[in-house]
Structure 1
Amino acid sequence: MNLFDAALAARENAYAPYSKFKVGAAVRTADGNIYSGCNVENAAYPEGTCAEAGALAAMAVAGGRKVVEVLVIADTEDPIPPCGGCRQKLAEFAAGDVKVTLAGLQGPKAVTTVAALLPGAFSQSHMEGSDV
C-alpha cells in the first residue's frame, strides 16, 4: 500500500459527526512502514484528535520514531495543511526536509516540507542546558 491509499482508507474511517469534515493522514518511517490515522471528533468539541496525530500515535505504538514522508488528504478543492499542533507533532519525528504531500480525493495537489510548514520549530535542542 502507498501513502495515498493508506491515507484515503483512513479518511473513510474518520469519526466526524459534528463537522462532517473527514481527514486522513499517513506517514512512512525510515524502515518503509506506513502508519495511518483519521480525525476523531467528540461532543466536547474541539477536543478531538487530528488525523496526523493518529498516524503518529500508531507509529509510536509500533516503535517507530523517524518519519521520512507524510501525506494528508481531505475532500476539498484547496489542499489542506496540518494544523499548528500537528505541524509541531510532525516536527518531533521528521527532519525539516521531509516531504509533506497535501492531497484531495483524486490525488496530490501540493507538496511542501515540514520546515516550510513550521519554520523555527521548537525542538529538544531548545531545552539543552535548561533545568527541564
Structure 2
Amino acid sequence: MEGSPLTPEDEELVEHVKGVNNEAFDPDFFEGAHIVAAGVRTTDGDIYDGVSIPASIGRASMCGEPVALGSAAADGRCHDEIETCVAVAYPLPHHDTDEQRVVPPCGSCREMLADFDDGLRVIVPVDGTLRVVPAIDLLPTRTW
C-alpha cells in the first residue's frame, strides 16, 4: 500500500485530533483506557470529533472513528460529504512511545469505513510516513 502524501488540510486534521485527544484523555477512567480520538473532515472543511469509549464488556466498547462519523451524521451530514478520517492514539505508560501517533483503523472500523464510503480518504502510517489511502485499500481481499 503506497498511498498519497498528506495535504496541508490533512496535517491540520491530524493536529486537531491530537488536541481532542489531549482534552478527552482521563487517566482516572478505566486506568486511562480512553486512548483514541478520531476526526472526520467534510468536503467543506468542517471537522467532527469522536473518542473511543471503553466498557468492561469489550463488545460494548466503541472506537473513535464510528463516534466521529455518528457525530457528523447527527448533524445532518450525508455520507458523500465526509471526505477524510484519521485516528490518533494517546500514549499510555506501557506503550512504546510517549507521543501521540496516528494509528490505522482496527478491522471492524476498516469494514465500517469501507461500507460508509469505499473511497473515503483515511490517513494511516505507511512504512513510518503518514499517507492517505482510500478506505477500500485497507481491505485488500474484500470480496463483497
TM-score when normalising by structure 1:
0.70
Q: SS state of the match for residue 76, structure 2?
A: coil
Cα drift, residue 46 of structure 1: 4.1
CA gap of 1:22–1:33, structure 2 versus 1, over 3 A, is same
Q: Identify the range of structure 1 (49-58 vs 4-13) with the bigger mean alpha-carbon deviation.
A: 4-13
Q: Could you tell me how far apart the structure 2 residues matched to 1:47 and 1:80 are? A: 21
Residues 94 and 22 (structure 1), Cα distance of their counterparts in 2 relative to 1, 3 Å cut: same
Which of 95, 103, 110 is 2:130 aligned to?
110
Alignment pair present for 1:99 and 2:110: no
Unaligned runs of 5+ in 2: 1-8
Q: Kindly provide the amino acid, as one letter, of the partner of residue 42 in structure 1.
A: A
On the 8 A contact 1:36/1:54 being kept in 2, the answer is: yes
- C-alpha contact (below 8 Å) 2:34/2:53 kept by paired residues: no
Task: Give unmatched runs, 5+ long, in structure 1.
Answer: 123-132
In 2, the alpha carbon distance for the partners of 1:109 and 1:20 equals 26
Contact 1:38 1:55 survives alignment (8 Å): yes
CA distance in 1: counterparts of 2:32 and 2:43, whole angstroms: 34
Q: CA deviation at 1:90?
A: 1.3
Shift of 1:59: 0.7
Structure-2 change in CA distance of 1:73 and 1:5 (3 Å): same
What is the Cα-based RMSD across aligned positions, in Å? Answer: 2.8
Equivalences, count: 117
- The structure in which a higher percent of residues are strand is 1
Cα distance change on mapping 1:110 and 1:19 into 2, 3 Å: same
Counting aligned pairs with the same residue, the percent is 27
Looking at both structures, which has the greater relative contact order when contacts are Cα pairs under 8 Å and sequence separation is at least 6?
Answer: 2
Alpha-carbon spacing, 1:22–1:118, altered in 2? closer, same or farther (3 Å): same
Q: Report how far residue 109 of structure 1 moved.
A: 4.0
TM-score of the aligned structures, taking structure 2 as reference length:
0.65
1:40: how far off?
Answer: 0.5
